[in-house]
Amino acid sequence: MAAIFDSADIRRTWQVYREPGEVAEVRILNAGKWLGTVSGYFDNEEDFTKIVSELASDPDHPVPAIYFTINPVSPDLLARAANRTIAKAKNTTSDADIVALHWLPGDLDSKRPAGISSTDEEHDAAIAKAYEVRGRLIELGWPKNAFVLADSGNGAHLDTKINLQNVPGDVALVKRCLEAMDFLFSDETIHVDTTSQNPARIWKVRGTMARKGDSIQERPHRLSRFLEVPETMETVTREQLEALAAMLPEPEKILQPSQSIGGPGFDPGAYCQAHNLPVHHSKTWTDPSGTKCTVAVLEQCIFNPDHHLSAVIIGWPNGARSYRCRHNSCLSKRWKDAKAIIEPGADSFDCIPTMDLTRARADAIEAATGVHIFNAADDPSQNEISEEELNAYSLPAGPKFECNLPKDHFIQRFMAYGSDISDAYIEYWFAAGLFALAVIADKKMKVELKQGTIYPNLYISINGKSSLARKSTVVDKAEAMLCQVKPSLLPAMVPTEFSPEAFTEHMSDYNHATWVRDEAAGVLSLMKKDYMRGFKDSLMQLYDSKPFYRKLRTSQRKGAKTEFRVDDPYLNLLWATTDASLGANTEQNDTLSGFMARFLFFFPQGNKTKWLPLEEGTAANSIFESVVRDQLAEIAAQLQELHECQAMHFSPEAARYYTEWQRIREQEWTASNDGNAMQIYSRLAPTVIKLAMLFELGMPGFDPSSPIRAEFVEEACNLVDSYFMPTARAVYDLVGANAEKNVIDRIVAYLKKHNGKATRKEILRDVKIKSTDFGEFLSTMEESGQVETKTVKRGGKGRDSVYVVLLDTGNVGNVAKVAKIAKVAKVEEIHSNPSEDKEGKKSTLATLATKATFPIMATQPPKPNSTAAKEDPGFQKFRGKMKKRTCCLCGRTFPYDLTYHANGDKSGYECTTCLMHGPPPEPEKANPQTKLEAGA
């Protein structure tokens, strides 16, 4: 049975929305014939949590909803019902009883009949809209930590921290901000509620049920809950609120008699069509006076084409019209300014001759209106760029890797172990941990589908641009740990020197084999040889764990075996190489045949989140190594007891989620008409099952007879969507690239080495071809959209420079995320049996956090003693970084950022030793030279 309340979220409601000394009213409307309105006032967290939990957990008196006043209430009202509730309350909080306005309450809900709950589709659309609105407001300069995002049960709440007084002017500002949000973000499906403007607004208590009407399958009752809460709240300034309110359009006076207010209605869509203004979509909007208007959302702003989907033209039924763009640089622009550009010869500017929009005329319009015009007919090349813009340009970092497995999962612990000994990309350690589980699984588990059987073996390729990525370190550590845990793996590993014949013979001797290469360039290069053409077909067949038979050429050795059978194959691959090597040693047929689609590619393209120097001393060890090794050994021992392959099954929730995910993704990729994407997806879809099996295997207390949980299927689907799909597409773009033979590939490779930009002269010096030929290659690349040329004007202070800028080639962004596919419970923290803990350690303390999985919240640096230091931003930044590298529990410092820690009266950053074993009894004095050693 689903939970009907969550006391943790109830308590957190007080912690998030109340400061010490503030009072809140708890209220229940329509609590029943004998209860009426229930109300009470609270000034402390404990009583608030206790009473609300009791009200929410009463199965005999389910109430529609439990509310609290989002803004603080006058402490005098505590005398009405102090830290308790009363029935049939006659007096509740009024607007005059609010002491301050601390929150801008955003309520996003679907448009549906009153008195009923939302469908899952409507519910998810509202939450997706809340994320969108938050992103748009952050683009306007609002602090990203000013927002509390919550599920209201039927939609979404986006609550923004403000600091205003309960006076008419500030109340009106809140009202205008909500009306502006309604105008900017509401659409035909989801709207921003403007009625939540009053100071005494009551808000749903998180962790309590929202019950509108009856709970039916299509429209169920749901729990209100927190989605995202910043560790430290920031406040939106009054100026930022005023800027948002200024975006609310008003009818503007029209100078031409034919367009005066009171005339025929103005149709912005028809006007845009008549003047060749691309319209993305149109919508209706009810202005604050209750008048319905038509809004045309433009593809780009009239004043700045870089402002995409931010500008609108609004038409009122009485002929009035308005223009708005939400970007700061365009906030002052109005209809008359827009009309000056759209219709340069209009009567509004009789003092200026009617002619083409030349730069001279544009300057005259600018002088009359203050409007800067970008697109005069005789303007110089639009490809000019400032030095500041050029310096700010860089290639995108590619898809971001995030792992949301439980803290005590083997992979999470392996990632923490790896992060402790090396500065390799964190996704490499995820890949190695995943590979270790696939090898240890040893074909002892499977999922049987109608279409065939899925085993948990994997082909993994980790790729990086140089040795600085530390690929070999990860591969070597994973291989060493596997051989320590299971020594029998060593002879079963594919030898370094191989041929198709030797590989087939090895697989015949060792059906369950592991192929590890810390540099796979040689293997890939050999596979391009003619005599190796059929070898990739064998690898594809082995990936599916299908038995195969090979008859080799007659050996010259008398009595040598020439026929080989592999009846029970189980092959796992872990290869590492550079992106340049991968591109040069693959060909188009590798994508068409499906060979490359069978790999999971780990291809980080941004900067590493951690750096460790080369230092004198012994090899780095980690106190976590034994913990991780022991956990892997326990998994191996448990599987060794299984005498045959165990069939695993999905839970009903997992099956529903996986089915719906497949349906949506297949429709999306089929509609894209992208052949590569469709092929990659066709292989990644069953890979979700492999990942889900391995995620289950890596949990403490793994039971192969238990169903695969929905949260692990969802995590596998999320990884495919956000990481594996875009990285595979990025790798596909590399296929066949050869910088040594192909001039265009060489130009692209040079630009990638130099952060996506270089002068023509620098590139020409590298490619070493004639200038005329180089110009032809460059023109081809510009026409295909690979590059752009930009001119940096020096303003007489030197010769102008022509730069070539790479346009996001080989960097694939995240796949657009769709709304949540199914209602799936969150992963609960799973604890090992305390009796099995070694040396008295709690297993829950070994839940190791890493920078890739848990956000580090920056703390404010302490105030320096000197006045000069206070005013020096560089010094402040340095102190802030050092704060992140000093453990608040043991006092030691480290050459990398630590994990954020907040517990009781201590907060700051925590080293992995204290995270693992707790703080030392008597913290020693911090020593910058201290090394993290085993047993420290």
DSSP readout, 44-96?
SHHHHHHHHHHHHT-TTS--S--EEESSPBPGGGGGTSBTSEESS-S----GG
**Cα–Cα distance, 923 to 908 (Å, whole number):** 15
Half-sphere exposure of 412 (CA within 13 A, CB side): 23
Amino acid (1-letter code) at residue 661? W
- 308: which DSSP letter? B
Q: What is the pLDDT of residue 842?
A: 32
Block mean pLDDT (10 aa), the chain, length 936: 84 94 93 85 95 88 92 95 92 94 94 91 93 91 94 95 93 92 88 90 94 92 94 93 85 44 70 86 82 87 82 85 79 81 59 49 63 56 62 70 91 89 88 94 92 93 77 89 90 81 85 90 80 79 84 56 82 89 80 86 79 63 81 92 90 93 89 82 93 94 91 94 89 67 77 82 82 80 80 68 74 38 36 38 29 32 41 52 68 62 62 62 43 33
Beta strands 906-910 and 899-903 are: antiparallel
Cα–Cα distance list, 348 to 343, 717, 837 (Å):
9, 57, 82
CA-CA-CA-CA dihedral for 329, 335, 338, 340, to nearest 10: -130
Token pair for residue 698?
Answer: 């890596």
**Cα–Cα distance, 168 to 9 (Å, whole number):** 33
Sign of the four-CA dihedral 916, 919, 921, 924: positive
Find residue 790's DSSP bridge partners.
803
The burial of 441, by beta-carbon neighbours within 10 Å (0-12 exposed, 13-18 middle, 19 or more buried), is given as: buried
Q: CB under 8 Å to 741, separation ≥6 — which residues? A: none
Q: CB under 8 Å to 859, separation ≥6 — which residues? A: 232, 880, 883, 884, 900, 907, 908, 909
Smallest Cα–Cα separation from 786: which of 814, 736, 750, 741? 750
* Helix locations, 608-755, DSSP H: 625-640, 652-672, 675-697, 710-719, 725-734, 743-753
Q: What is the pLDDT of residue 740?
A: 53
**Cα–Cα distance, 483 to 493 (Å, whole number):** 10
Buried b (16+ CB within 10 A) or exposed e, 809-842: bbbbeebeeeebbbebeebeeeebeeeeeeeeee
Find residue 448's DSSP bridge partners.
453
**Cα–Cα distance, 527 to 553 (Å, whole number):** 19
Token pair for residue 559?
Answer: 């009595």
Smallest Cα–Cα separation from 917: which of 884, 882, 887, 881? 887
Region of 854 on the Ramachandran plot (φ > 0 left; ψ -120 to 50 alpha; else beta): beta
CA 515 to chain centre: 33
Residue with tokens 């696939």: 438
| DSSP reduced 3-state for 225 | strand
Largest CA distance in the chain: 106
Q: In what order do the strands lie in the sheet with 279-286?
A: 279-286, 292-298, 311-315, 321-325
Whole-model pTM: value is 0.48
Q: What is the pLDDT of residue 18?
A: 94
424 touches 518 (CB < 8 A): no
Q: What is the pLDDT of residue 91?
A: 92
Backbone angles phi and psi of 466, in degrees to 5: -160, 180
Query: Could you give the angle at which helices 625-640 and 410-421 cross, rounded to 10 degrees?
Result: 150
Q: What is the pLDDT of residue 43?
A: 95
789 touches 833 (CB < 8 A): no
Half-sphere exposure of 172 (CA within 13 A, CB side): 4
Sign of the four-CA dihedral 167, 171, 174, 176: negative
Query: Could you give the angle at which helices 426-441 and 471-485 cross, rounded to 10 degrees?
Result: 30
Residue 420: CB atoms within 10 Å: 21
Token pair for residue 465?
Answer: 């641009």
CA end-to-end span of the chain: 46
702 touches 692 (CB < 8 A): no
Q: What is the pLDDT of residue 771?
A: 77
Q: CB under 8 Å to 172, separation ≥6 — which residues? A: none
Q: CB under 8 Å to 733, separation ≥6 — which residues? A: 809, 810, 812
341 touches 377 (CB < 8 A): no
Residue 139: CB atoms within 10 Å: 12
The burial of 563, by beta-carbon neighbours within 10 Å (0-12 exposed, 13-18 middle, 19 or more buried), is given as: exposed
- In this structure, the chain runs to a length of 936
583 touches 734 (CB < 8 A): yes
**Cα–Cα distance, 412 to 401 (Å, whole number):** 13
Token pair for residue 652?
Answer: 């009903």
233 touches 161 (CB < 8 A): yes
Find residue 259's DSSP bridge partners.
none
